[in-house]
Structure 1
Amino acid sequence: MKLVKVAASGAIVALCALTLGACGSKSSSSTSKQVLNWNETAELPTMDLSTATDTVSFDMLNNTMEGLYRLGKNSKIEPGLATKTKVSSDGLTYTFTLRKGAKWSNGDKVTAKDFVYSWRRTLNPKTNSQYAYLFEGVKNATDIMNGKKSPETAGIKAVGDYKLVVTLDRQIPYLKLLMGFPVFFPQNQKVVEKYGSKYGTASKYMVYDGPFQMTGWTGTNLKWTLKKNTNYWDKKNVKLSAINYKVNKTTTTSYNLYQSGKLDATSLSAEQAKQLKGQTGYTIRKAASTFYFQYNQKNAAFKNKKIRQALSMVVNREQFVKKVLGDGSVPSKGLVSMGLASRNGEDFATAAYQKNGVTYNLSEAKKLWNEGLKELGKTSLEFTLLSDDTDKAKNTTAFIQSAIESNLKGSKINVSNVPFKTRLARTTSGDFDVVISAWGADFSDPISFLDLFTSDNSYNAGKWSNAQYDKLIAASKTTDAGDTAKRWNDLVSAEKILMNDQGVAPLYQQATAWMIKPKVKGVIYNSAGANYNFKNAYISGN
């Protein structure tokens, strides 16, 4: 899912879910008291679903917009705008019947044409959507993204206002899960064209078809509100009247606000988590998200495999997650998170495990470092480590800086902790040496991670490239797409290549400790895709 925001990617994460309280239970409190105050740790970059890339954006879109389906508890497919789905015998044509009466927050009807427009807009190369690749398999999508065909040739068409036909080039086993992900949601063409370049840059330059609509976001401020959308088709089951968001980059600030009753939920620092573990409201949010080094291979030093291996092996991941994070996070087995997918009872992360890709081996790290420097004709190496400016990110970079400089002779690490949006922009543009990136699976399939590091993927910011890796990923999506065993083996082999070559260096699988007020009920948290679904949330005991 998504850039984990550090966040986000989002989403990206087995599709397990954590639900607080009884989802859908009725509250006896009045609507006026159904206000939830929620903490965010990063800015909101955009509300344009065609260009969104991060957890915060996808969570906001997931609660203010709606697609063909919604993802409920345990990522179960629940009714969205589709009331009926018919699949052809060859699995290549999906016909969705849309509900009548669904409206945008401005009163416009939501129709099949809104989906057609949205998909074409996202696929259009001019939009520069980094998530367009998820449409691969939809007829002509790849050629459209590559500028070889017009967006109008995409395999999606409206038959009247309430029938949507999607045609595929190949079977997509996880298509229905994708339909619950915001990038596949509809967009109102009239509104997009009215606001032009301003669309999605502030709450007033948007229109919404989901349970809530956004107010108070200017595009740069650190607080906003989701209020109940009175035009939503299922408004009778939306209990919250508002969700107030406030960005607090330090957990000291956010926990003080929580204690004073100004926040109903906040994430915790490692020290706070240790102190508060076991107390009422203490909650661990497990995520199918992986934090990892990306090495910019435009820099000759990071083209050297031994340098990459040394930087990975010098990090004691067990010590890091226990002493620095302390939030339930665990060392990574590989890029694909544990618990995301399994076959015949074996977890994918176990099947693809390559110890040398994630191990702590100080003597080997020193040996490889010295050999790598010699191959480069250097006696020292200075570079910058890029990450976010949150407390957790700063603690992370400090630990890694110390591990490298104290153990690898001739190393000099400059640390750059910057705002989330800045880190995203610099990563995308290739303005980094080594960056701590994060990705959350968008759906419960290993391809959600592994697709990132094909040679031409826009998220492959370090430009690592391996022809055999590309071939295996391509086979999993084409010739082997309909064969579960072959496709599984393709993906296992691909991950092993990525780990053995240290194309990226996985660090840890994220979990976050939170304090949640006991009165907050019905919140659905999915570890893959857009994380939060507040449609049926409510406040009890008022």
Structure 2
Amino acid sequence: MKKGKFLGSLGVVSAAALTLVACGKSSNTSNEGAKTASKFPIETKTKTAKQGGTLRVAEETDTPFTGIFNDELQMSQPDADVSSPGQESLFDTDDHYKINDKGPATLKLDRKAKTATITIKKGVRWSDGKQVTAKDIEYAYEIIANKATKSQRYASQFNIINGMKEYHEGKAKTISGIEMPDGENGRVAVLHCQELKPGMYYSGNGYIWENAAPYHYLKDIPFSKLEASDQIRKRPLYFGPYKVQKINRGQSVTWVPNKYYWRGKPKLDKIIYQVISPNSASQAIKSHKFDIARVINNQWKQVKGTSDVTFVAQVPLAYNYMGFKVGKWDAKKSKNVMNPKAKMNNKSLRQAMAYAMNTDAVYKHYTDGLSFQVPTLIPAQFGDYFDKNAKGYTYNIKKANQLLDKAGYKKKGKWRTTPDGKPLTINFMAKSGQAINQPIAQNFIQQWNKIGLNVKLVGGRLTEFNSFYDKVQHDDPKVDVFLAGWTLSTEPSQEQMYSEGTMSNYSRFVTPENTKLIKDMDSQKAFDHKYRVDKFHEWQKYMNDEAYVIPTYNEYQIDAVNSKITGYSLKPSKLNNGHQLWYQVAFAK
């Protein structure tokens, strides 16, 4: 499974995400930036590569990265970014995310036998020279499923593998459904499943984990101490093209070639990922301090004329959203439990807040048109699965007021009360990051004030990235509404995001209808493409109506790349876990 990771370099959340917006209607907003970005290439020109050189990459975040160098435990985008030179998925894909045989391992599915067989290629080795084994595949599942690790990757989807649920609940010491026919040191792992799913042919399906963990290196560490261990934090092992030379905690990571890399020696001598503040990104690009840096979209006008730079762009598989807290995660039962009496558990209140937001105008205003409102939780990149007829929540103050009036939220002076006449204060949390985040958050608060809702920022200010997700994940009772975002898995199944049994369902909503639709999307009937498409469209309509999670915006993602670089690409077939496959990248002769 290639996970959803929450976003964060910009503000609210999301892969490259922004935080949000703030002006009035601003209908005359320029779309010049989007027109320009849509013409940029998705990769650098192919040139003859030379051996050597140090590549400097900017990691734009206003907070230190947490430094969890293990895919089974890692959840934040900055951690995923700085890990990428070493991290490599088991499978390569084509440009439609279909798994092929070109990667470190192959996948064979047998619907009749209900098995998924993963075979690691000979010569795929950890950076200490040890062959990647079947046990390394099983061990990754154990890290995710063992409650002592507190991994947030576990979702009920994994229960499709026989024995996974029993292991997760502590009723079994091993996962019975993972067979290693040639033993732990062999290269074959067979997953015995209750059934196979239509998405399993594609990367990011959420049922098959697409990474391995070095059992020989980590086995002596108790699961409860794994995340804090030096082997994860200071001296991680990977089988990708580069290995860690040095970690400057929270600030930078230096990578050097993994001499055991299975595809051959990578071209670069070093890759250095360095944290810089988003607010100084444009100056860093203009002064050529980095070879690769993400353009902060509200700074586009400042950097667009920079010389000796190739701008590479795409619309990422991501979205930002507003979530309403309506329950809690029950760790003992590994499921979300909804609270019918939760403050935000009133559909009219949620819909009214969505209609009061001037989302499209505000984001375009701050990013020269490089951001745009999205109508549903399924991005357009998913083709047929995206419901192109979905309207989403467009700005409509009149409708917002009508919804609140009808639902009994009466005005008592300036502010509305709850339907039973009690004072109503809504606690709203948004992330810090870029300079524009504050005015954007204030903009939305003003919009909600216009319809009589007393909305206040949690703690009276924007929340730092790591603290933000700590509060979201642990259901801080002070948070009613939050702005966040996801970089998405490359297969559209929603089980890992919004089901009853996934920690990633941060709103904590659980309804019989949602559960049924998510199961239908991945059912045996869903091997029929039309049936699956219909279920995805039904789900989008349902989610928009219920408004537990309101999609807000996506944006063009533009990278400023040194014009001497070759091999940098954002094509799906040339990415790995959503990141650059760094062995391809080099300086040109």
Structure 1 partner of 2:404: 369
Cα gap change, 1:325 to 1:70, in 2 (>3 Å): same
How do residues 172-187 of structure 1 correspond to structure 2 at under 5 angstroms?
172-178=197-203, 183-187=209-213
Structure 1 partner of 2:115: 93
Report the more deviating stretch, 129-138 or 487-496.
129-138
Letter in 2 for 1:173: P
* Deviation, structure 1 residue 10: 7.1
- Deviation sequence 1:42-88 (CA, Å, 0-9, x none): 64331122222233333444531334313476646462322x54433
2-side partners of 1:10 and 1:157: how far apart? 36
1:497 is the counterpart of 2:517: no
Asked if the contact 1:292–1:437 (Cα under 8 Å) also holds between the matched residues in 2, the reply is yes
Identity across aligned pairs (percent)?
A: 19
2-side partners of 1:261 and 1:3: how far apart? 29
Give the match's secondary structure for 2:256: strand
Counterpart selection for 2:59 from 39, 42, 61: 39
Structure 2 partner of 1:69: 91
Structure 1 partner of 2:433: 390
Q: Which has the higher helix share?
A: 1
* Deviation, structure 1 residue 156: 4.2
1-side partners of 2:41 and 2:583: how far apart? 14
Counterpart selection for 2:124 from 85, 91, 102: 102
Give the match's secondary structure for 1:339: helix
Asked if the contact 1:453–1:459 (Cα under 8 Å) also holds between the matched residues in 2, the reply is yes
Give the match's secondary structure for 2:441: helix
Asked if the contact 2:44–2:312 (Cα under 8 Å) also holds between the matched residues in 1, the reply is no
2-side partners of 1:203 and 1:293: how far apart? 32
Aligned residue-pair number: 522
Cα gap change, 1:481 to 1:229, in 2 (>3 Å): same
Structure 2 partner of 1:57: 79
Asked if the contact 1:211–1:229 (Cα under 8 Å) also holds between the matched residues in 2, the reply is yes
Counterpart selection for 1:209 from 236, 239, 243: 239
1:21 is the counterpart of 2:48: no
Letter in 2 for 1:403: Q
How do residues 226-241 of structure 1 correspond to structure 2 at under 5 angstroms?
226-236=255-265, 238-241=266-269
Counterpart selection for 2:387 from 335, 349, 354: 349
Structure 2 partner of 1:124: 146
Letter in 2 for 1:164: A
1:169 is the counterpart of 2:204: no
- Deviation sequence 1:477-502 (CA, Å, 0-9, x none): 23434332222222221221111011
1:282 is the counterpart of 2:311: yes
Structure 2 partner of 1:318: 360
* Deviation, structure 1 residue 101: 2.4
2-side partners of 1:512 and 1:11: how far apart? 7
1-side partners of 2:250 and 2:566: how far apart? 28
1:300 is the counterpart of 2:329: no
Asked if the contact 2:199–2:205 (Cα under 8 Å) also holds between the matched residues in 1, the reply is no
1-side partners of 2:256 and 2:447: how far apart? 46
Structure 1 partner of 2:289: 262
1-side partners of 2:181 and 2:408: how far apart? 57
Asked if the contact 1:314–1:404 (Cα under 8 Å) also holds between the matched residues in 2, the reply is yes
1:244 is the counterpart of 2:277: no
Cα gap change, 1:498 to 1:235, in 2 (>3 Å): same
Letter in 1 for 2:273: Y
Cα gap change, 1:451 to 1:209, in 2 (>3 Å): closer
* Deviation, structure 1 residue 315: 0.8
Letter in 2 for 1:171: L
Asked if the contact 2:343–2:480 (Cα under 8 Å) also holds between the matched residues in 1, the reply is no
Give the match's secondary structure for 1:350: coil
Cα gap change, 1:247 to 1:492, in 2 (>3 Å): same
* Deviation, structure 1 residue 203: 4.7
Structure 1 partner of 2:336: none
Asked if the contact 1:255–1:266 (Cα under 8 Å) also holds between the matched residues in 2, the reply is no
Structure 1 gaps of 5+ residues are none
Asked if the contact 1:329–1:512 (Cα under 8 Å) also holds between the matched residues in 2, the reply is no
Structure 1 partner of 2:374: 332
Structure 2 gaps of 5+ residues are 18-37, 328-340, 411-417
* Deviation, structure 1 residue 116: 1.6
- Deviation sequence 1:95-134 (CA, Å, 0-9, x none): 3332222221122222122112222232223333222225
* Deviation, structure 1 residue 212: 1.3
Asked if the contact 1:522–1:538 (Cα under 8 Å) also holds between the matched residues in 2, the reply is yes
Give the match's secondary structure for 2:377: coil
Asked if the contact 1:387–1:437 (Cα under 8 Å) also holds between the matched residues in 2, the reply is yes
* Deviation, structure 1 residue 151: 3.8
Counterpart selection for 1:192 from 204, 218, 243: 218
Cα gap change, 1:224 to 1:44, in 2 (>3 Å): same
2-side partners of 1:244 and 1:454: how far apart? 38
- Deviation sequence 1:154-202 (CA, Å, 0-9, x none): 3343524122222222222332434799953111123223455233775
Give the match's secondary structure for 2:570: strand
2-side partners of 1:396 and 1:137: how far apart? 42
* Deviation, structure 1 residue 332: 1.0
* Deviation, structure 1 residue 313: 0.6
Asked if the contact 1:387–1:435 (Cα under 8 Å) also holds between the matched residues in 2, the reply is yes
1:399 is the counterpart of 2:443: yes
Structure 2 partner of 1:483: 528
Structure 2 partner of 1:135: 158
* Deviation, structure 1 residue 452: 1.9
Asked if the contact 1:440–1:529 (Cα under 8 Å) also holds between the matched residues in 2, the reply is no
* Deviation, structure 1 residue 519: 2.0
Structure 1 partner of 2:28: none
Asked if the contact 1:313–1:365 (Cα under 8 Å) also holds between the matched residues in 2, the reply is yes
Asked if the contact 2:205–2:489 (Cα under 8 Å) also holds between the matched residues in 1, the reply is no
Asked if the contact 2:92–2:576 (Cα under 8 Å) also holds between the matched residues in 1, the reply is no
* Deviation, structure 1 residue 138: 2.8
1-side partners of 2:15 and 2:576: how far apart? 6
What TM-score, normalized to structure 2?
0.79
Letter in 1 for 2:386: F
Letter in 1 for 2:342: A
* Deviation, structure 1 residue 22: 4.6
Cα gap change, 1:179 to 1:163, in 2 (>3 Å): farther
1-side partners of 2:193 and 2:258: how far apart? 34
